[in-house]
Amino acid sequence: MAPNPVLEIDGLSTSVGGLTILDGVSFSIGDGEVVGVVGESGSGKSMTALSTMRLLPASVGVTSGRILFEGVDLLGRSETEMRRIRGDRIAMIFQEPMSSLNPVLTIGEQIVETLAWHRGMDRARARRRAIELLDLVEIPAAAKRISDYPHQLSGGMRQRVMIAIALACEPKLLIADEPTTALDVTVQAQVLDLLRGLRQELAMSVMLITHDLGVVAEFADRVVVLYAGRVAETGPVKALFREPAHPYTRGLLASIPPLDGPLAKPRPIPGSVPALVDMPAGCRFHPRCAIAAGRCTATQPPFVPLDRSHEAACWLAGPGGTP
Amino acid sequence: MTRPILLKAEGLTKHFGGRPRLFGSDRPVLRAVDGVDLEVRQGETLGIVGESGCGKSTMGRLFVRLLDATGGKVEFDGVDLLSLKGRALTAVRRDLGMVFQDPWASLDGRMTVRDIIAEPLDIHRVAVGAERRRRVTELLEVVGLPASAADKHPHQFSGGQRQRIGIARALSLKPRFVVLDEAVSALDVSVQAQILQLLGDLQAEFGLTFLFISHNLAVVRNVADRVAVMYLGRIVESGPTQALFETPRHPYTQALLSAIPVPDPERPRRRVVLKGDVPSALAPPAGCRFHTRCPLAQDICRQTPPVVTVGADHTAACHFAIPPLAVS
C-alpha cells in the first residue's frame, strides 16, 4: 500500500452481460506517485481507468469494490458531483488526441471552456491562463497558436494541447491512457520528457496506462501488471523489472526483443489471452504457464508478499511457493 | 559470402498528386518516396525502419507492384519490374507476396479462411478441387493452424491466429520475395514473438527473401540481416544490422535509437531529444532533409549530402558521417 494514497482501488469488479471483466482489482497510488498499469489487450487496464473516471459504457456495471479518491468512494458520487471532479481534481488524457479534441473549436476555446466551467473564470483571464498553459506544455508561440484548430497541429502538438487541458485545473490525479502510443518514437520521447517534468513541477499523482514496458520503466515509480482482469503482480519499478515474480511478467519481459546487448531470440508466451466467455478456472494464466501444476488449475492464487510492497498472485511465487 | 541480388532499386520515386490542372494552380506534390537506391539480396531479411510518413510502406507497395512508381527503376531477378504489363506482370506477381499490418482489416470477414487462403490460387488458376483443398490444408499446417480452421471465418480467431492466416495467403503461390509491412505491430507483445519465430522458420524452410518494414527497431534488430533507415522519402543510412545498431553514423539513426524507451529502469540513458516534428512530405527541406531537426546541422547541410561508405557494406547519407581526422 502506498503511503498517503491519493487513489485506492479496492476489490474492483465489473461485468458485462453477466461476464466478469475486472475481477477484484486492488492497488493504490500515493501522493505524487506515478503508477504504471500494464497489460496486453483485454487485460482490463483501460476499464480500470474508465471505472475511476466513472465513464464506463452503460453496458458495463461495477459489481463490487470501492474506488477511494482522497478517502471518499467515487462509486458513491452522483453524476453531478462527478462532473465537478472530472477535469478538475482528476483529469484524463487519451491515446488519440484528434478524437478527443473538438474539431470545430480552437484549442484556446477548449482550454477556456474548462477554466470557465470549473473555475468560473471570465474569458479574458481564462485566455491569459490558457496561454500560460500552452507555454507550460512547450508549445512554441503559444499566444499565436491559441487560435489554431486541432487539425492545424501535428500529432505531438495535439497531445500537448490535451495535456494542457488536463492540467488546466491542476488536478491531483492524472490518468494517462496510452498517452504516447499513437506518436512516433522521437515525438514520444519529447512528450514523455514533458510529462516527467510536469509531474515534478505540479506534484501530481499519475496513473499511466500502457502496453509498453519501456515507457513504464522510464516513467513509473511502481507497476501494476494486469492479466485477464486480475492483478498478476505489483511492485516498485526496479524490483519488478529486476526480479519479476509472476510467470506472466517474466514471459512478458522475455518476449520483448532487446534493443542492444547480446542478441537473445525473444521467447513468446504460448497461446493467447483467454476470451471473456472462456475464462480458465484457478489462475487465469495457467493454460499458458510453463510451470503451472496442481492448485494452479483449480484455485485462484493469493497475493504472495515478496519484498517491500512487491507481491505476486502466484502459487509458486516466493521462497515457500508450491503448486 | 555476399548473396546474389534479388531485387535492386535505383532512383525509385513515388510522387502523389501534382498533375497540372487545366485551370487554377497545380496540386501540391507529395514526395512519398524520393530517389531510393536499394538492394535486397537472395534469402536475406532487409529491415526498413523509419517513422510514420517516411515512405517505407509506399516503397514496399512499389516493390510488389501494388502501386506504380513515378520514376526510377526496379530490377527483380534481372527483370525490369516497373515496365512489366499483362501476362508477364501476372507471372511475376506470383513471386511477390505481401503481409499487411492489421489482421482485422486485411482479411475479408465474409469469406471462409479456405477461400481467403485460396483466393490467389483461384486468381492465378493454379489449383482447383481436391488439389485446392490439399494446398489450403498444407498452408494452414505450415503456419501452425489446424486443418479445421479452413471452414471458419476470420472473426473466430485471435489477432495472432489471423496474422497466421494472412501469412498463409501471402505464401499460397510460393513467392520468392515477401514484403512484411508492420506484420507484427498490431499484435500483443507475447504473441508478436510467436509470429516472428514462425517467419524465421518459414524463411529457413522455403528460402524466402523478406523486406521487413517496421517502426519497431528492437524487432528489426532481431530479425534483419541488414537494415535501411528512411527519413522523408529517402534512405539516410543502411548497413549490416549489428553495425547499424552498434555504430549508427547518421544523426537521425542515432536519435531514433536513443529515443526508444528501454524496459530496464536501472539503465542510465543518454537521449538525443529531437526538436519538432517530421516536416511534411509536401514541402521537404532542401538538401539533407533532416537538417531542420539535426543537432549537428551546419550551413553545408542545405546541400544534398553524399552517400558515404562508413564501414563494410555500411553507408550513410550525411556530410558529417566521417568524423574529421583529429589533428595530432
pLDDT in the model for residue A118:
93
Residue in A40, A154, A188 nearest the CB of B259 = A188
For residue A88, give the DSSP letter.
T
pLDDT at B161: 92
Tell me the C-alpha distance between A251 and A42, whole Å.
17
State the greatest distance between any 2 C-alpha atoms of chain A, in Å, as a whole number: 68
**Nearest residue of B to residue A254 by CA position?**
B190
Give this complex's ipTM. 0.82
How much is the mean pLDDT over chain B? 91
Compute φ and ψ for B147, nearest 5 degrees. Answer: -60, -25
What's the angle, vertex CA A148, arms to CA A147 and CA A153, rounded to 5?
155
pLDDT tens for each residue of B137-193: 999 999 999 999 999 999 999 888 999 999 999 999 999 999 999 999 888 888 899
Q: Chain B: nearest CA to A127, how far in angstroms?
A: 25
CA B28 vs CA A155, B15, B19, B68, B291: distances in Å:
22, 10, 9, 19, 22
Phi/psi for B283 (5° steps) reads -145, 65
Q: Residue ranges per domain, chain B?
A: 96-174
Sorting pLDDT into bands at 50, 70 and 90, what band is B113? Answer: very high
Provide the residue type at B17 as one letter.
Answer: G
**Cβ partners under 8 Å of residue B320, min gap 6:** B251, B296, B298
Residue B24 pLDDT: 66
What's the CA gap between B55 and B237, in Å, rounded? Answer: 14
The full DSSP string for A203-234 is T-EEEEEES-HHHHHHH-SEEEEEETTEEEEE
pLDDT surpasses 60 at B324: no
Contacts of A178 in chain B (CB under 8 A): none
CB–CB of B159/B104 below 8 Å? yes
Percent of chain B topping pLDDT 90: 78
Q: Are strands A173-177 and A205-210 parallel, antiparallel or unpaired?
A: parallel
Predicted local distance difference test score (pLDDT) of residue B170: 96
The answer to whether the CB of B222 falls within 8 A of the CB of B47 is no
CATH 1.10.357.10 for domain A5-89+169-313, yes or no, is no
CB contact under 8 Å between B277 and A155, yes or no, is yes
Residue A95 confidence (pLDDT): 84
Using alpha carbons, list the distances in angstroms from residue A89 to A36, A92, A95, A123, A167: 19, 10, 20, 21, 10
Inter-chain contacts counted by CB atoms under 8 A, chains A and B = 124
Read off the C-alpha cell for A206: 499519475
Distance CA B23, CA B320 (A): 45
Is A197's Cβ below 8 Å from some Cβ in B? no
pTM: 0.88
**How far is residue B279's CA from residue A73's CA, in Å, rounded to a whole number?**
47
- Contact between B173 and B126 under an 8 Å Cβ cutoff? The reply is yes
What are the backbone dihedrals phi and psi of residue A108, each rounded to the nearest 5 degrees, phi first?
A: -60, -50
Interface residue B273 vs chain A (CB under 8 A):
yes
Which residue of A190, A192, A243, A272 to mutate against B (max B Cβ within 10 Å)? A272
A218 shares contact with chain B (CB less than 8 Å): yes
Contact B224, B236 (CB under 8 A): no
Mean pLDDT, residues B212-227 taken together: 94
Residue B256 in contact with partner chain A when CB distance is under 8 A: yes
**Interface residue A253 vs chain B (CB under 8 A):** yes
Name the nearest CA neighbour of B277 among B287, B295, B261, B290. B290
CA distance A146 to A165: 12
Instruction: Break chain B down into helix, strand, coil percent, rounded to 5.
Output: 35, 25, 45
Supply the Cα-derived Rg of chain A in whole angstroms: 21
Looking at residue B326, its pLDDT comes to 44
- Note the pLDDT of residue A140: 87
- Using CA atoms, how far apart are residues B240 and B315, in angstroms rounded to an integer? 10
**Which of A190, A218, A257 lies nearest to residue B261, judging by beta carbons?**
A218
pLDDT score, position B328: 37
What are the extents of the domains in chain A?
Answer: 5-89+169-313, 98-168
- Beta strand residue intervals within A124-166, DSSP E: none
pLDDT tens string A59-81: 999 999 999 999 999 999 999 99
Percent share of chain B, pLDDT over 70: 95
Burial (CB count within 10 angstroms: exposed 0-12, middle 13-18, buried 19+), residue B181: buried
pLDDT per residue, tens digit, chain A (323 aa), is 556 799 999 999 999 998 999 999 999 999 999 999 999 888 999 999 999 999 999 999 999 999 999 999 999 999 999 999 999 999 999 888 778 899 999 999 999 999 999 999 999 999 999 999 999 998 888 999 999 999 998 888 899 999 999 999 999 999 999 998 888 888 888 888 889 888 888 889 999 999 999 999 999 999 999 999 999 999 999 999 999 999 999 999 998 888 887 777 778 898 888 888 889 999 999 999 999 988 999 999 999 999 888 999 999 998 777 76
B79 forms beta bridges with B76
- Which of residues 183 through 242 in chain B touch A, CB cutoff 8 A? 188-194, 196-197, 215, 217-219, 221-222
